[in-house]
């Protein structure tokens, strides 16, 4: 009994050591720096940007779902959830600057992101960069101003499903959403006089509808 008590007291006197053994793969330790919000395959912290896919590689990547694009997103939690959505569906996420947050924001971590999740993300300095990098893709803009429903489109793996920024003080980029580079404008139906759905909820509905049309190719039931 004395031996057990001594062992317990020794552990109690070394809380840092005890906590160290409790960290699971991918979780952020309190002493990580601001650029160490993502871990590699071995659990080592790495730069968020270093983990991303290069723009020139995105168009060469064979996908089973259309690409997803967030134009100038403002809320890091939404983008973090979208990154996880893309990781589990095999979708490539394009983020078009300006962003309303720093990519190293700790709120991105709420989705439990790691290196493999970020490998599905491409960062573009502007919309023109996206168009140039994806010359063979059809851009489908999701906007409340559209008349066609999102279910009335036959999706292709090379498509880009584009969503504008979350509602706020900055006007929606209608010059982008209705511009000449957009092939289709579609909307999600909702009851009138109500606020819009959360951005990533909308994206999830769209991605899964497109994936359903494509037979959930690459999914766990394949």
| Per-residue pLDDT tens digits for 3-50 | 444 444 444 445 444 434 433 333 444 444 444 456 666 767 667 777
- Tell me which residue of 185, 21, 190, 37 sits closest to 104, measured CA to CA: 37
CATH number, position 100: 3.40.1280.10
Domain of residue 113 covers 53-213
Q: Is residue 71 part of a domain?
A: yes
Q: Is 168 annotated as ligand-binding?
A: no
Does the global pTM surpass 0.85? no
- Whether 130 has a pLDDT exceeding 80, the answer reads yes
Beta strands (DSSP E) in the chain are 38-39, 45-46, 67-71, 93-96, 121-124, 139-142, 148-149, 160-163, 182-187
Q: Is residue 115 part of a domain?
A: yes
The rounded radius of gyration (Å) of the Cα atoms in the chain is 21
Q: What pLDDT is recorded for position 169?
A: 52
- Whether 111 has a pLDDT exceeding 70, the answer reads no
Place 67 in a pLDDT band, splitting at 50, 70 and 90: very high
Q: What pLDDT is recorded for position 103?
A: 81
Q: Is residue 99 part of a domain?
A: yes
Q: Is 188 annotated as ligand-binding?
A: yes
Q: Is 33 annotated as ligand-binding?
A: no
What is the chain's mean pLDDT, rounded? 81
User: What number is the average pLDDT over the span 122-128?
Assistant: 96
Q: Is residue 135 part of a domain?
A: yes
Q: Is residue 128 part of a domain?
A: yes
Q: What separation in angstroms does the CA of 194 have from each of 189, 190, 191?
A: 11, 8, 6
Q: Is residue 168 part of a domain?
A: yes
Q: Which of 1-10, 22-31, 171-180, 209-218 has the lowest mean pLDDT?
A: 22-31
User: Based on the structure, what is the number of domains in the chain?
Assistant: 1
Q: Is residue 13 part of a domain?
A: no
Q: Is residue 18 part of a domain?
A: no
């Amino acid at each position: 009994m004395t031996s057990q008590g001594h062992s317990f007291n020794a552990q109690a006197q070394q809380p840092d050591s005890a906590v160290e053994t409790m960290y699971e793969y991918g979780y952020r330790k309190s002493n990580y720096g601001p650029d160490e919000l993502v871990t590699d395959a071995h659990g080592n912290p790495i730069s968020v940007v270093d983990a991303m896919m290069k723009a020139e590689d995105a168009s060469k990547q064979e996908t089973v779902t259309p690409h997803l694009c967030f134009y100038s997103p403002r809320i890091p939690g939404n983008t973090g959830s979208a990154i996880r959505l893309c990781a589990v569906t095999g979708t490539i996420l394009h983020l078009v600057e300006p962003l309303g947050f720093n990519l190293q924001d700790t709120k991105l971590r709420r989705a439990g992101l790691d290196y493999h999740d970020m490998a599905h993300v491409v960062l573009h300095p502007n919309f023109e960069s996206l168009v140039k990098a994806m010359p063979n893709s059809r851009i489908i803009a999701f906007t409340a101003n559209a008349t066609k429903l999102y279910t009335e489109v036959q999706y292709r793996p090379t498509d880009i499903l584009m969503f504008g920024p979350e509602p706020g003080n900055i006007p929606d980029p209608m010059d982008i959403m209705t511009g000449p580079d957009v092939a289709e404008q579609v909307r999600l139906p909702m009851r009138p006089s109500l606020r819009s759905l959360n951005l990533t909820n909308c994206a999830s509905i769209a991605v899964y509808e497109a994936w359903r049309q494509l037979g959930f190719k690459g999914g766990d039931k394949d």
